[in-house]
Amino acid sequence: MADDVAPSTDEGGDRPPASLALILLISVLVVATCGLIYELLAGTLASYLLGDSVTQFSTVIGTYLFAMGLGSWLSRHVKRDELGVFLRVEVLIAALGGWSAAGLFLLFPIVSDFRIVLYALVLAIGVLVGLEIPLLIRILRHRFGFRELVSNVLTYDYVGALIASLLFPLVLVPRLGMIRTGFVFGLANVGVALALLYVLHRQRRAGVDLVAALLVAASLFVGLFYADRLQRWSEIAFYGEPVIHARSTPYQRIVITRLRDDLRLYLNGNLQFSTRDEYRYHEALVWPVLGRVANPASVLILGGGDGLAAREILHDRRVRHITLVDLDPEMTHLFRDTPQLAQLNQGSLSSPRLTVHNSDAFRWVREARGTYDAIIVDFPDPTEFSLGKLYTESFYHEVARLLAANGVMTVQSTSPLIAPRSYWTVASTLEAAGLSTRGYHAYVPSFGEWGFTLAAHRPIGNGVWLPPHLRFLTAATERAMFDFPPDMARRPTPVNRLDNQALVRSFAQEWAPYES
């Protein structure tokens, strides 16, 4: 075996060739893991900041793979010193990839066209990542036979991809968060460069490369140390309000802000409630249902992990038991165990009359047995396909199976003023599932005109009972909610099915002009 890595490189060395070869193969594993992590970070951030996860992930992945192909093509123009070029590529990737999440978060509130910045960064990182494997193959070509070389490099590359795909959703995002994850893997990239510089310190004049690597490493350590502060700065700029709680879970980004006496909950950047007017929303969500059921002894809530709908339902002494199904245990734990939030929902999540199931609603409904006198469906808006499935005919068929013969359900259905096609698509889909529907709407200042849809196995009447303690609803205002002026009147709409997800597309189109 030759003493040189390649004829065009200047390392020869006192260290055994096998040592360098092993480090380079381990480098394949590290760079493959880092490369996929940067791709996942970009896709996740794009879906978090821009919505529509399918579109964002598809375009980010496509752009990234194209850029990798471009980088592989450009590698042919590296005529000499492949190892030196590889070291510099690692340092550049460490800088761009390590700071990518923090940079994107910080730039989102201040740049006019965020997509240009996003895809320029994806292209740059992808081109650099595309250079890595061809350069490594050329560096290693004199240490292995061709078959052994290809199998070794591809094996380490694919194993790295598997490691990244498992670590990212299960460990990195929930435990480190996206900004800290970027810095950690940037340090892994620069660590590869530093390890190679150490092994080759007697064979190479690498003063500039070493200084650059150390400067990048130092910046990444500083970023890692201040990651929480960077996240807070970016979210304050994004929300325009002081952030008092922020947590990434395997399912979503939970942010709570407080400005004077106004507490707000955001999930993946979308406002869920403001304490100044949430009572309007939750009274409109709950009481038109309970008031139309003679004896709502058993109630099912799908979504509503903040416990605010449960708070309203527990005011009805006729209700003996509530079953609440919410995907994210962090949400229900947060609103159960944090004194300020538990005070807001009046301790509803600790009530002996309530049972919480942290489970995917689609799966839970399919497996559930028995019936409920009232069902409250309070999911976030269908901004992406994972949420859109909870507004489909298939899902409503399963929910209808759980609704008692004389029971009534309601579905949060977005704004009939801003998104009338989306709003009436919910009604069309419920009807396709065999239910009778009646739409209604209420003005909630934080959201504007907001819509709901009642559904039942029988035609839904006008008679309603309301308790005396309500702050918003009266018999007169309740009747007025069922009146739709022409600009919100019903129109022909498709049925939202799993195989078309028409609601997600119409929602994105109708809300696009209102995105900041």
Catalytic residues: 378
Q: Which ranges in 297-439 belong to alpha helices (H)? A: 308-314, 329-337, 339-344, 361-367, 385-388, 393-402, 420-432
Please name the residues in contact with 127: beta carbons below 8 A apart, sequence gap of 6 or more.
Answer: 67, 68, 70, 71, 74
Q: What is the DSSP letter of 350?
A: G
Q: Is 418 helix (H, G, I), strand (E, B) or coil?
A: coil
Q: Is 298 helix (H, G, I), strand (E, B) or coil?
A: strand
Number of other residues whose CB lies within 10 A of the CB of residue 66: 15
CB of 385 within 8 A of CB of 58? no
User: Beta strands 372-378 and 298-303: pairing type?
Assistant: parallel
Q: Quick one: tokens of 72? A: 């592989």
**Separation CA 437–CA 428 (nearest Å):** 9
Q: Is 516 helix (H, G, I), strand (E, B) or coil?
A: coil
**Separation CA 378–CA 325 (nearest Å):** 10
Q: Quick one: tokens of 165? A: 């795909």
User: Beta strands 298-303 and 270-274: pairing type?
Assistant: unpaired
Sheet with 321-325, side-by-side order of all strands: 354-357, 321-325, 298-303, 372-378, 403-412, 448-456, 436-444
What sign results for the dihedral spanned by CA atoms 187, 190, 194, 200?
Answer: positive
Burial of residue 120 (number of CB atoms within 10 Å: 0-12, 13-18, 19+): exposed
Q: Quick one: tokens of 303? A: 């979504």
Q: Is 445 helix (H, G, I), strand (E, B) or coil?
A: coil
Q: What is the DSSP letter of 291?
A: T
CB of 189 within 8 A of CB of 94? yes
Nearest to 54 by CA among 391, 425, 508, 361: 508
Place of tokens 């007025």: 480
What does R_g of the chain's alpha carbons equal in angstroms?
28
